[in-house]
Amino acid sequence: MNTHKNSSLHALAFALYETALYLDGHPNDRRAIEYYDKTRAQYEKELEKYERENGPVTMNSDAATKNGTWQWVNTPWPWQNEYHKS
Amino acid sequence: MESDKRPHYPCDFCEDELDLIENLVRGNTRTNEDSMSNRSRRNDCGCNDNCDRDNCNSEDENAASRDCMCRCEHSNSMSDRCSECEMPSFNTNTALAIVYSPDHSFNDMYDAEEGLCEGTLFRRLNKPFEGATVRGGGR
């Protein structure tokens, strides 16, 4: 089973989506379920780390209302931050 | 004996049919033509009369409904299976564009980063388009 040591948030989201599509056709595949759970845990971890540094990734993210303000419009857009330099 | 009554599987004609399909899948047109020639020689249009593919004089209404094309002699227009060997037969009632897919197993995978670059998490589903290379002689 693969692990994702230094995968980007984008790559982890892709892996989750691919696995979800597989699970649509194989809902009882234990290896796929295990992989999905592990990947999702890592995705959540990377998401939290990214949003702490860059603001919410999506409008309905927990980070959108951080500190009692609407962070969605108060944090840099992807093309305004360091996203492309990393 | 009971075993003597059991049909040969697949029957000779269905075997030709399977060869034809396999060659079509592989794009082997030369062998396709060979198979078609074999079929023509068999003159196996499903009727019992002497007829050719272009001018069937059979009184068999099933043969007429098949347009006297060379198809399994054991099949009829009401069935999708050869009555002799149970192989699916491709008569005029067979739906077009129905394909098969082998079961997909959860192994032989890329890691997330590589999967994102390749466009799939599964190595066996990675089918890059190579037509330009084949036709153009290189990219």
CA dist B17 and A69 (Å) reads: 70
pLDDT 10s digits, B13-38: 667 766 776 776 666 655 444 544 44
CA dist A65 and B107 (Å) reads: 40
CA distance, residue B85 to nearest chain A CA (Å): 32
Q: Which sequence spans correspond to the domains of chain A?
A: 9-85
For residues B56 and B91, state if they share a domain. Answer: yes
CA dist B26 and B32 (Å) reads: 10
Domain count, chain B: 2
Which residues span the domain enclosing B122?
101-139
For residues B108 and B85, state if they share a domain. Answer: no
ipTM value, please give it: 0.79
Q: Which residue do the tokens 């094309």 mark?
A: B69
A11, A25, A29 member nearest B112 (Cβ): A11
B115 with A32: Cβ contact below 8 A: no
pLDDT 10s digits, B48-90: 444 444 444 444 555 444 444 444 454 444 455 565 666 666 6
- pLDDT bin (cut points 50, 70, 90) of residue B124 is very high
For residues B30 and B53, state if they share a domain. Answer: yes
For residues B55 and B108, state if they share a domain. Answer: no
Amino acid making up residue B128: P
Q: Would you say the pTM of this structure is higher than 0.80?
A: no
A12: chain B residues, CB-CB within 8 Å? 112
Q: Do residues A7 and A55 lie in contact, with contact meaning Cβ atoms separated by under 8 Å?
A: no
* DSSP annotation string for chain A: ----SS--HHHHHHHHHHHHHHHHH-TT-HHHHHHHHHHHHHHHHHHHHHHHHH--SSTTSGGGGGGGS-HHHHS--GGGSSGGG-
